[in-house]
Amino acid sequence: MINILLNGCCGHMGKVVADMCKYQKDVVIVGGIDLSAPEGDYGYPIFSSPAEVDIDFDVIIDFSNATCVPALCEFAKNKKKGLVCCTTGIPEDVVSCLFDCSSSVPVFKSANMSYGMNVLFEIVRMATKALKDGSEIEIIEAHHRRKLDAPSGTALMIADVINEECDNKMDYVYDRSQRRSPRAQNEIGFSSIRGGNIVGEHEIMFIMDEEVVKISHSASTRDVFARGAIMAAKFIANKAPGMYSMQDITANIFD
């Protein structure tokens, strides 16, 4: 049994993770951390900060915000417990905290925790190898109106996968509105759509003169991210210190 400490337990994703764990036999939420815990019985103790945690656990799952991550990294190092960081929109200085933490404990970080999306990364990698010569590549992504960043972190991850297979020679183009020139062969173009409650949609187009190959992924609910977080917690429970991602789980699926 893997005992999970859930940071951000009272937020939307925290609640989804907790509910999902109820139906799994090999994981259990033994405690939560949240600054503003409402009254009521969550089925486990809730602490207002990592410093107050006085229970034993195996792995931390974090769905909070970037400002909470540095303190959580120090807490994980002091407790010598693995950390699954699912928080998005993390600036470079906080990313550095995660890498520093990974020298002492296993840290799992991925811009997208969906298993299906990470399978798509490997499919895109294979497609790029086969189609990069003679293709013009575009990435289209759509998310809900509340999303602040554009393009999405996942779209940038897809582009990075493509770029790796192209010897890092690709230029990322986010806006063509001020340009008056033909499209260059070494571009990856991005288009972002925001509206409604779209959970997340990504499409990659390999455009050739005679045909177009499209690869796409659509998330129906945010449950996919919770499921991925639990999968990650199981994955790093007994791992050595280091930085891990969902690609460590999916990298060899086509071997």
Residue numbers annotated as active site = 143, 147
| Residue 193 to residues 44, 155, 188, Cα–Cα distance (Å) | 39, 12, 17
Prior bond of 151 cis (ω within 30°): yes
CA 206 – CA 27 distance, rounded (Å): 41
Number of Cβ within 10 Å of residue 181's Cβ equals: 6
Q: Is 126:177 a contact under the CB 8 Å cutoff? A: no
Within the chain, residue ranges assigned H as helices are: 12-21, 69-79, 92-101, 115-131, 153-165, 223-236, 246-250
Q: Calculate helix-pair angle for 153-165, 115-131, nearest 10 degrees.
A: 30
Q: Is 171:188 a contact under the CB 8 Å cutoff? A: yes
- Name the nearest CA neighbour of 13 among 64, 75, 69: 64
